[in-house]
Amino acid sequence: MIEATWIDFTLFFVEICWQVEFLNACCTCDSDILILSLDKFVIHGGKKLNGTVTIGGAKNATLALMPAALLASGTFHLTNTPNLRDVATMSNLLKSMGTKVHLKDHVLALDTTNIKKQEAPYSHVKKMRASIYVLGPLVARYGRAKVSLPGGCAWGPRPVNLHIDGMRKLGAEIEVKRGYIHAKANRLTGAHIHFDISSVGATGNVLMAAVMARGTTVIENAAIEPEITGLAKFLQSMGGKISGIGTNRLEIEGVDELHAIEVDTIPDRIEAGTFLVAAAMTGGKIRIDNVEPDHLSAVTAKLQDAGCSIFVDQKSITLEGPDSIKPVDVTATIYPGFPTDMQAPWIALMSIANGSSVVTDSIYPDRFKHVPELVRLGANIELNKNAAIVRGVKQFTGATVMSTDLRASASLILAGLVAEGTTEVLRVYHLDRGYEAIEKKLQALGADIERMASEEF
Ligand code: UD1
């Protein structure tokens, strides 16, 4: 009897600790909302989406701009900052180094006057790989950094060798031991760096380091994703000397000092693309506001091929879905090609197309965790290496499915919006990493979707 009580107590204690750790990871910083991780979405499919939705600031841009603030002392203001779990995670990491962080009404204030620690511990990095972005700014400004290796991710290996090689080329002494990257340098020196692979993260990291290095750095085969272009412009406004912005050859003349600035974050092209696909799938008509149509041209071109009518204005896109979706092959690749972050939503769309299509991912060959879940909803998809052969079905049918990662979760919601009956999407904390209040935005467009506490996990 006594033994049973102790076992019960221990299990209860473990469960409480786990949940507290979990909720800590899911609470936003000093901010307006508290996101509970154990929620699920309950969707009654079949409603056409109609109306207007405003797109938030880009998650991936914000996650690059925040660490860039470590390069100068002072208070930065980032307007149009999305209130997301990943932004909270980066805030907590920067706070642990001594940054004062405050997010209110989508304005993020970062005060970097008093940085005491140059470390990104595993407890932070394991929650979000983009934490590695602090490496470049810390070595450049403080001459040292200790950053945990991110490890694998939900859909497969994601190495950081290019980040490390780039820092070494800039003269940093790097040792990788016991799961950590230890970097030091008296002062980084400019170098000629040619990336074998175009990498968003490595380009961003090396760029942030090079901007304060002594002399000139050239980055060849640099990523040209809008989030990197946005970062380069941000560094330029801080006093950095960068030319070739928007091309895959960046030339950086290192400076001694940078200063704090106020900047408006670019709109989130993936959130925008997800809403466009939602309208296409439901056969509705929506306008998305606060977008950069140029950033979405690969996606809108494919949506037109699928039969959607699209009208593009300066800062908005209107899409009217067709009666019947045409099958369209897509290969996810680097910008300005079709984004890998839209691959899962595209598979959801193609699953109800009138015919077969092939969706290939040339960036992440294993990024298909959504496929078995979409199949549970009635999709007919076969995987062959890094491609999904999607044979369109008439309709999805509602079921309980599980989110496995951010964009996979988005594809399940999209499927639920058009499924016959009720779909429950569990583990929506993945979704909260990158879509702010998605259910509220969808409700405003007429969707029947609700966030509810879940007993299942
Ligand atoms: C960023 C985005 C992510 C998006 C991805 C591709 C952020 C926070 N995340 O991730 O949403 O899906 O770009 O557009 O901005 N690679 C290496 N070695 C490295 C780094 C990358 O081999 O050191 C490979 C990767 O495995 C991948 C390719 O390069 O095959 C591109 O990855 P990368 O552009 O670096 O992606 P992330 O910056 O991690």
Q: How many Cβ atoms are within 10 Å of 293's Cβ, its own excluded?
A: 18
Whole-number Å distance, alpha carbon 196 to ligand 1 midpoint, is 13
Whole-number Å distance, alpha carbon 332 to ligand 1 midpoint, is 13
Overall residue count recorded for the chain in this entry: 457
In angstroms, the CA 93 to CA 217 distance is: 28
Residue 455: which pLDDT band, with cuts at 50, 70 and 90? confident
341 lines ligand 1 (CB under 6 A): yes
- CA–CA distances in Å: residue 189 to residues 193, 232, 239, 395: 12, 19, 18, 58
197 lines ligand 1 (CB under 6 A): yes
In angstroms, the CA 82 to CA 84 distance is: 6
Query: 65, 129, 158, 405: which to mutate for ligand 1, most atoms within 8 A of CB?
Result: 158
The 10s digit of each residue's pLDDT in 249-305 is 999 999 999 999 999 999 999 999 999 999 999 999 999 999 999 999 999 999 999
% the chain with pLDDT above 90: 89
Q: Which residues make up the CATH 3.65.10.10 domain(s) of the chain?
A: 31-56+267-453, 60-264
In angstroms, the CA 296 to CA 21 distance is: 37
Q: What is the mean pLDDT of the chain?
A: 92
pLDDT on residue 38: 81
| Helical segments of 28-150, H only | 59-68, 85-97, 122-125, 135-142
Q: Which of 108, 131, 141 is nearest to 261 (CA)?
A: 108
29 in active site:
no
Whole-number Å distance, alpha carbon 200 to ligand 1 midpoint, is 6
Ligand 1 atom having least distance to the Cα of 197: 29
Ligand 1 atom having least distance to the Cα of 227: 15
Fold of the CATH domain 60-264: UDP-n-acetylglucosamine1-carboxyvinyl-transferase; Chain (3.65.10)
Q: Which of 244, 170, 168, 182 is nearest to 213 (CA)?
A: 170
The 10s digit of each residue's pLDDT in 124-172 is 999 999 999 999 999 999 999 999 999 767 877 789 999 999 999 999 9
Of 19-23, 100-104, 127-131, 163-167, least confident by mean pLDDT is 19-23
Residue located nearest, by CA, to atom 3 of ligand 1: 341
Token pair belonging to 234: 């941000």
Ligand 1 atom having least distance to the Cα of 161: 23
Q: Which of 31, 156, 40 is nearest to 89 (CA)?
A: 31
Q: Are strands 422-426 and 39-44 parallel, antiparallel or unpaired?
A: antiparallel
Q: What does CATH list as the number for 31-56+267-453?
A: 3.65.10.10
Residue 336: which pLDDT band, with cuts at 50, 70 and 90? very high
DSSP 3-state of 263? strand
DSSP 3-state of 84? coil
Sequence-ordered list of residues with C-beta below 8 angstroms from that of 435, at least 6 positions apart, any chain: 84, 271, 274, 410
Q: Are strands 316-320 and 309-312 parallel, antiparallel or unpaired?
A: antiparallel
DSSP 3-state of 186? coil
60 lines ligand 1 (CB under 6 A): yes
Q: DSSP label at 421? A: S
Sequence-ordered list of residues with C-beta below 8 angstroms from that of 150, at least 6 positions apart, any chain: 125, 126, 129, 131, 132, 158, 160
The 10s digit of each residue's pLDDT in 30-78 is 333 344 458 999 999 999 999 999 999 999 999 999 999 999 999 999 9
Whole-number Å distance, alpha carbon 67 to ligand 1 midpoint, is 17
pTM for the model stands at 0.93
Whole-number Å distance, alpha carbon 449 to ligand 1 midpoint, is 32
DSSP 3-state of 91? helix
130 lines ligand 1 (CB under 6 A): yes
String of DSSP letters for 198-228: --HHHHHHHHHHHTTSBSEEEEET----HHH
390 lines ligand 1 (CB under 6 A): no
In angstroms, the CA 415 to CA 428 distance is: 15
Ligand 1 atom having least distance to the Cα of 158: 26
179 lines ligand 1 (CB under 6 A): no
Q: Which of 456, 409, 455, 450 is nearest to 44 (CA)?
A: 450
Cis upstream peptide for 137 (omega within 30°): no
